[in-house]
Structure formats: structure tokens, C-alpha cells
Amino acid sequence: MKKWCPKTVFIYASGALAGYALLELLIYLIFPFWKAKSGDLALCVLVLTFACACLTGKKQFLMRSFCTAVLLMSPAFIGLLAKQPLPLPMQYRTIAFSLIISGAFFLLQSLLPLGKIRRIVSIFFYAIVFLVFLLPWGYFFASHSLLNATAVLAVFQTNPAEAKSYLLDFMPWQAWGVMAVLLSAYVFILRQWQPSLVCLRDSLKNRWGFMLVVFCILLTGYSLYRTRDNFYKHLAWESQRGLQAYRDFTLYRNARAAALKDNLAGISSGRDGVYILVIGESQNKMHMSAYGYDKETTPWLDQMKNDTHTVFFTDARSCHTHTVPVLSYALTAKNQYDQRDLAKSTTLIEAAKAAGYETVWLSNQVRYGAWDTPTSAIASEADEQEWLNTHVGETTETAVYDGALADHLAQIKPTDKMLIVIHLMGNHGSYADRYPKDFAVEQGATAEYDNSILYNDYVVQHLYDTAKQMPNFQGMVYFADHADDVDRNIGHDASRFTQDMTRIPFYMIFSDEYMSRNPGVLHELREHAQVRFTNDLIYNTMLAVMGIMVPDDYEDKNDLTSPDYDSDKARFRTLHGQKELD
């Protein structure tokens, strides 16, 4: 055992500090990144140097620390592979943080006595490391992108079965094999390099050795603080901010309702009748024959788009590529083109109820109650709710196909003023799960998706046929939340954004009564049938179709029924304003 004394401590400290200064100097001279705090890399070397001074078995300690750090610094490598490199300062800090946290664990592990407690702590630490390794690499293999806050929020808005379906559809089996081999190799290496755990505990018995250990721990704490602005903190902070916005949306619900109640005199009562809003899922109009696709996937819409009762929009796009971000804007007064706070934005259901409408929410989607997202919060405001998927929050395997929604629609007792929102499972992956065998008619690389489009057309036809039999039916509006990029087989992952993920169908079908009573509305809608529209403006347009005016929310430039609708293509965007549309 090393005899610790002031001279020995001085030699170690001086050597380590001199090495640190030399590394900082070399980095400054070779790489002009001083302002980027590239010295964090040198600082982690200093930490590991002092840790080695406290331990025997230095080689084993360094190898275990390095192997663990390589797993933790995966985001830096993935960013380069995905051509989405982290900002240079964040790369440095992520690598330094990984080395420091790994060394710190193995240093502090040596303080624990051999036995059950040490094994439990070690297993817990390794489990975290494995998870941190698997998540970004698994996401990369599935999406060829770096894990980001949007993807994390999507996890909170989904459920285990949907995540499983996504991974099976988009993550190749070769990727699973590579990850299994890497983890197996890691476990094997750890078992080979057994660390020496005696010297650190013995060092604590010596005053100077104890001081060196304390200094090493303090230095480690300072280093972790200095490298705090790394990939993991950035990801956690952005994800937490997004989740908090979703929670705030629900918390403000009572305040929004009170505000509407106070201002009820200013809200127009709207037009009598039954109005239906149908929300499709993951539907790409480029795979619909009504929009020019070369396979007959929408025979009913092919005919209806030329019907005098139909207004068929040709340039509709989605405001995001994930369901919850889309519907949190589409079904509220919030949109990409204003500075309104989402949490305080009036919802479509709230506005309709304030205007005296009975409201119904009919869905074949999974109910996302576990995280109380805006979609579930909006749905919960409806006077009547019916969820056909009985596996609430646990699965995407629908108990019934979307066709059953027409039967449930027929059972609704209409009132003089009613808004019915129908949320389809639509064309959500896995596509083969979305239609009965009778609709498996198409062939080719995208056959399953095309079959789901064909079935969706059948479903909407029956919804319309059922709706128009209702007394006082006025109109049905249909739009999809977003599209899937089926031709590239990349789904609708925002981190792999393509324009095809935003190309959605959008159309309206009205009754003879509505058309005769509201010729001005029909005129403006037809005038705007060929212009650009993003579905975050559904709130404005749907209320206008129903004749509801919320003075504090109304924006004529975002209302398709208004002659002042702003159709300038340059203003339209997606991903909540982050991306331009082609």
C-alpha cells in the first residue's frame, strides 16, 4: 500500500495540475475552441488522474470507466452518423460528462463493502447505463436520427403497444442483433476487468490519503457541475418543458371555461343543426386516387369530390407530424401564426358548449389518460364520450375496426344544436391491423398502406351515409392529423421530417339545407379550395362553418369562410413553425 504523506500528495497534485494546464494549452493552440470551453475534456483527465492516485488496479479502473463512458457518450457518435452533429461545446461536455460520471461511480463504488448492497447499487447503475445506451441507438436504427425532445414527448403520448409496433415496423432485425452483440461484449469486458477495491478504503485511514480522496470527490463534483450543459440535460430540459406545457393546458381548463362563461354575451349562438368533424390518422393524400394516385384507393371520394355538396381542398398540409402536437393546435384557438399561449387557448369543444351546442366525442383511438395530454383533455370536455378501444391507455390493437364507428354514430340522439367529433384509428401503423381481410386487394411495396386507405374511404362513406340520415344534419368536415411517408418507409417521425409527412386530405360535405341558407359561406370555401391551408386553422374554420363567433379568438385571415383569408404561401409553416413548406 502506498504511504501517503505531504510530499506524495504534493507530487501527485502538482503532476496532475501540470498535465491539466498542458492539455488546456495544447487544445487552445491546436483547436480554436477556447470559448467553447473545450477545456472540459482536460478537466475530465484531471479527475481520472486523481482517482487513479487513490486506487490500486489503475488499469482495471481506467478500462471500466472508459468502456462505460463510451456507452454514455453515444449521442455524440449518433449525431455524427445521423448528420445531426451536436453543437461543438455540447459534444465536448457530453464526452467529458460521460468520462467523469463513469469514473465517479467506480471510485465511489469502492467505498461500499463487498456483498449484497454493492451488487444492488452496481446492477442499478448498469441498468441505467444500458438504458441510456439502448434508447438513442434504438431510436437511431429505427429513425436514422438523433434522439430529441419531440421523440421523448411522443413516448409520453403513446403506450407500450404503439411503441412496440413502431419499433417492429421501422427498426430492422439486424439492428437488434448488433445491439445485443455490443451489450454482450460490454458485460464480458466488465467481468474480465475486476477492479481493486482495497486501496481507496485503506487510504481513508491515512490523514493525507483521506485529504486526497476528499479533494478528488470535490473536484469530481465541480467537474460534473461544469459539464452540466450536456446532451442529457438539454434533452431532459426540453422534454420537461414540453410536458409542463401539456400539464398547464389541463390546469387552465377551469380558467378558460370561466372566461367563456363571463363573455358568453359576446359569443354568437351559431347555426342550428348537427355538425360532424372527422379526424383521420396518418393519411397521405398522395396515396389517394381522389388526389391523383394511380391505384383506386378512394372510389367513394373519387365520386364525391365532384358532387355539388362537396368542397374538396387540394393544398392542405399538417402543422406537425405527430398527433398530439397537431390536435393541440387544430382543436384550439392556438396556431402557428400567433403568439397565443396554448395553455390558455379556448378549445373547439369549449367554444361549442358556450354557444349552446351538445358535444360528443367518438373515438377508436387509445385514450391517452395516463399523461393527460391536450387531446385527452379536449375530449374529456365533451358532454358525451365513447371510446371503442376498451384497452384504455394500454394498446393500439383496436377491439373493432373503424367501421364500427358508423354504428355508434347511428345510436347518438341528435339535438337541435350538436357537434360530433369522430377520431379514427385510420391509417396508423401497423397498417395491416387497420382493415379486414376483405380489403386486402392491393399489391406492391405499399400494399398494406394502400389497403388501409381503401378501407378508410369505406369507413368515411358509411359515416357520411349515417350522418345525413340524422334530423337537421348540416355538414361533415374531414381532415387527417398528418401523413405517413410511406414511400420512404419512415412513418411520420418529426426528426426525419419530409414534406410528404404533411400532405393530408381535407374536404367538407354539406346538406341541401345548409347550402341554401349559407350561400356566402359556400362561395368563400369554394374560392379557397385550391389555396394553401394548414390544419392548425381548423378551429377558426370549423367555428365559422357553424356560425360561432368568439370575439377574442377570431382571426379572419385564418378563416377559410372569410374573403380576407390570407392565402400567401410564404406564410405557411409546419412543425409548429420550425419548418417551411414547399
Residue 481: how many CB atoms within 10 A of its CB? 28
Q: Which of 65-74, 169-178, 371-380, 456-465 has the lowest mean pLDDT?
A: 169-178
pLDDT at 128 over 60: yes
pLDDT of residue 33: 44
The closest of 293, 294, 290, 295 to 313, measured between CA atoms, is: 290
Average pLDDT of the residues in 242-250? 69
Sequence-separated contacts (24+) of 237-244 with Cβ below 8 Å: 238/148, 238/149, 239/149, 239/152, 239/153, 239/156, 241/149, 242/149, 242/152, 242/153, 243/153, 243/156, 243/371
List CB contacts of 518: < 8 A, sequence separation 6 or more.
271, 547
- What is the dihedral sign for C-alpha 415, 328, 140, 489? positive
Question: Torsions phi, psi of 3, nearest 5?
Answer: -85, 105
The proportion of the chain whose per-residue pLDDT surpasses 70, expressed as a percent, equals 74
Give the DSSP H or E segment for 501: none
Average pLDDT of the residues in 153-175? 59
Q: Which of 199-213, 353-367, 476-490 has the lowest mean pLDDT?
A: 199-213
Buried b (16+ CB within 10 A) or exposed e, 351-362: bbbbbebbbbbb
pLDDT of residue 563: 97
DSSP structural state of residue 338: S
Q: What is the per-residue pLDDT across 267-282, written as a single tens digit (0 to 9) for each?
A: 888 999 999 999 999 9
pLDDT at 224 over 60: yes
More confident residue, 517 or 266: 517
Average pLDDT of the residues in 111-120? 75
pLDDT of residue 365: 82
pLDDT at 138 over 80: no
pLDDT of residue 370: 40
State the number of CA atoms in the 13 A half-sphere of 38 facing the CB: 15
pLDDT of residue 371: 43
**Domains, the chain, ranges and CATH?**
6-239 (no CATH), 269-507+516-564 (3.40.720.10)
More confident residue, 563 or 155: 563
More confident residue, 282 or 162: 282
Three-point CA angle 496, 500, 502, nearest 5°: 90
pLDDT at 149 over 80: no
Q: What is the per-residue pLDDT across 303-350, written as a single tens digit (0 to 9) for each?
A: 999 999 999 999 999 999 998 899 999 999 999 999 988 888 889 999
Q: What is the per-residue pLDDT across 452-469, written as a single tens digit (0 to 9) for each?
A: 999 999 999 999 999 999
What's the gap between Cα 153 and its chain centre?
Answer: 4
List CB contacts of 352: < 8 A, sequence separation 6 or more.
270, 359, 419, 543, 546, 548
Are 490 and 527 in contact by the 8 Å Cβ rule? The answer is no
pLDDT at 36 over 50: no
pLDDT of residue 264: 59
Three-point CA angle 119, 100, 24, nearest 5°: 160
Q: What is the per-residue pLDDT across 56-95, written as a single tens digit (0 to 9) for each?
A: 667 777 777 888 888 888 888 888 888 778 887 788 888 8
Residue 46: pLDDT band with limits 50, 70, 90 = confident
Helix (H, G, I), strand (E, B) or coil at 298: coil
